[in-house]
A and B are shown apart, each in its own frame.
Chain A
Amino acid sequence: MLAKKLIATVMQSVMMRTHAYFEGEFNIELTEQRCTHGQFEDMILLDTTAVIHVGGTINLLIAFGFESSLLNVIYEKMTEELEIELHEIGIYRDAAASDVINTIVGHCTIDLLHIDKNGVTITPPTILDCNHAKKASHIKNAMFYTVNLNTALGKMNISLVAQPEMLENNFNE
């Protein structure tokens, strides 16, 4: 599959699954704003960003960024009926961001199976530490493609991060 088509297919799947998940689980409506792209070191990170690596033929990072106000609401909804100690709140807020991306990207693997007959692999989610991530050699030269989203409760964004040869073709169209 051409890199351009691959990126479009992945983003389309992620967007569809994200809309469905946010509306179904949290009753939060997302509106898509402008798209941005560029060098990874110029990527604007929101307050909390969770990342998953999709392996195999696809081989890119998917990042979900959340403004604190939105993540707080997601955290509250995901942990209602659970007893969380005061000192655990930070861990559980990060876990909420991780669970959102894990569920959505996990569902995307169903849509993306035709791209990689050997199966689409995903890593466990991690919370991006921008200072470390931007120095990491394997993504130092990477490029990003971001869809910015608005909700009534705050902003979020979804980014695909990949090596330049995968994304440059998209930007130059």
Chain B
Amino acid sequence: MDVDILTVMVVDDSPIIVKKLSVMMQTLGYKVIQTATNGKEAVAAYPQCKPNVVTMDITMPEMDGIEATQAIMSEFPDAKILMITSHGQESMVLDALKAGAKGYILKPFQQQKVYETIQKMCKRKIDLQFF
């Protein structure tokens, strides 16, 4: 898996966050193959693009990130979903993990934290060049 470029779907209702994460993923050597602005779009897009990793916001219109994670995980139990959210409540973290999320990062996010979490989620080596 290490030699392959890791593919990512970014899900967030903020255009700034979508763009920021997309640029960050490119810097880290990952490839953003899909973006979505709410949970409903993400659930619809996942089967088509089947990314290695999904970054998922929680508070979004139409369908929130917890519901979307549940929906994706019920169909694709191997999906790797990383919550990137400003919602810091412990209960929300637990809800996200119960829904099947593999990681949880609080906004504002740092590149190093995003990188480390994704590498661990995908059981890839940590490359120190990104620190």
Contact = CB atoms under 8 A, between A and B. Distances in A.
Interface of A: 21, 25, 78-79, 81-82, 84, 88, 91-92, 95-96, 98-99, 102-107, 109-110, 113, 119-120, 122-124
Contacts of A21: 108
Interface in B71-94: 85-92
Interface stretch (B11-19, B42-50, B97-105, B114-122): B11-19
A99 B89 contact: no
A110 B89 contact: yes
A106 B86 contact: yes
B86 A95 contact: no
Contact of B16 (A78, A109, A122, A123): A78
A120 B92 CA distance: 9
A63 B85 CA distance: 20
Interface of B: 13-17, 19-20, 23, 59-61, 85-92, 106-108
Interface hub of B16, B61, B108 (most chain A Cβ within 10 A): B16
Contacts of A81: 23
Given A109-B89, A113-B89, A124-B59, A82 B19 contact: yes
Contacts of B89: 109-110, 113, 119-120
A103 B17 CA distance: 11
Nearest to A111: B88
Contacts of B86: 102-107
**List of 7 A-B pairs having minimum Cβ-Cβ separation, nearest first:** A106-B86, A110-B88, A103-B86, A109-B89, A119-B91, A95-B16, A106-B87
A106 B16 contact: no
Contact of A82 (B23, B59, B108): B23
B130 to A, nearest CB: 16
A113 B59 CA distance: 17
Contacts of B88: 106-107, 109-110
Contact of A91 (B13, B15, B107, B108): B15
Contacts of A122: 59, 87
A25 B108 CA distance: 8
6 contacts: A79-B16, A102-B14, A102-B86, A102-B107, A103-B107, A107-B86
A98 B91 contact: no
Contacts of B20: 78, 82
Contacts of A25: 108
Contacts of B60: 124
Contacts of A123: 59
Nearest to B91: A119
